[in-house]
A and B are shown apart, each in its own frame.
Chain A
């Protein structure tokens, strides 16, 4: 798994690549927490190169969404969610908790 963070004026664009499972989810969670610790609560998560995510990753997503939405200070939105991951998120009932966008530019513009 690999994570890159690009700061825009109104939001952070975080790209997560590779596989998020119980082994790598702590690192994924930490990247989201780091953004929050820097007072960045508007986050676009670009999943274009994400191959796999288990419930360990979903757990990190949920924690981040809770933290970002607190005090209406922001939210996590998802961009370019691969079809298999979208299906798993749907099964877990997660799709209604996150806005999703087909491209990261529109997602960034949403903030």
Chain B
């Protein structure tokens, strides 16, 4: 299972999305699903760069992306500040323009776009695991 290391910088989001698209495409996912996987991975990596590594330079994001049978499994590990994933509330998507909260939208999209999103803090850092089944 190959692991990929990316500098924790927004400039590498392109490469992260490309990697996910390549593996998902070879795994037989539809273009619609591939876009969803790219978006979820981008939101996850953006969160890590922006929050877990806030104010930290020379940080890295460790990623795996593999097909396991009918499922794609994407993991991202960071060694930054743990994040209280479960505390992120669903944004109110029906409120007026003035009341719209933009915080939490990335996590909301990840949960909607993927079948499963799991976040845990381990000895080796924070580990995010996202899976999606091929339709």
A residues with a Cβ closer than 8 A to B are: 19, 21-23, 52, 54-56, 58-59, 62, 65-66, 69, 84, 87-88, 91-93, 96-97
Min Cβ gap A45→B in Å is 16
Min Cβ gap A88→B in Å is 6
Interface 1/0 per residue, B29-54 and A, CB below 8 Å: 00110010011001100100110000
Chain B residue numbers with a CB within 8 Å of A55 are: 43, 46, 102, 105-106, 109
In the complex, the 6 A-B pairs of residues with the closest C-beta atoms, listed nearest first? A93-B93, A23-B10, A84-B35, A22-B10, A22-B46, A55-B105
| Inter-chain contact A58/B102, CB cutoff 8 Å | yes
- Which residue of A23, A52, A97 is within 8 Å of B11 (Cβ)? A23
Chain A residue numbers with a CB within 8 Å of B97 are: 62, 65-66, 69, 97
Q: Is B98 interfacial (CB 8 A cutoff)? A: yes
Given A55-B109, A59-B105, A97-B100, the answer on whether A22 and B39 have CB atoms closer than 8 Å is no
Q: List 29 A-B contacts (CB under 8 A).
A: A19-B14, A21-B14, A21-B17, A21-B46, A22-B10, A22-B49, A23-B10, A23-B13, A52-B17, A52-B35, A52-B38, A54-B13, A54-B39, A54-B42, A55-B46, A55-B102, A56-B46, A59-B105, A62-B100, A66-B98, A84-B31, A84-B35, A87-B32, A87-B35, A88-B39, A91-B109, A91-B113, A92-B93, A92-B109
* B residues 82-100 touching A (CB-CB < 8 Å): 91, 93-94, 97-98, 100
Complex: A28 Cα to B46 Cα, angstroms: 17
Complex: A21 Cα to B43 Cα, angstroms: 9
Q: Is B112 interfacial (CB 8 A cutoff)? A: yes
Min Cβ gap A19→B in Å is 7
- Which residue of A21, A58, A84 is within 8 Å of B13 (Cβ)? A21
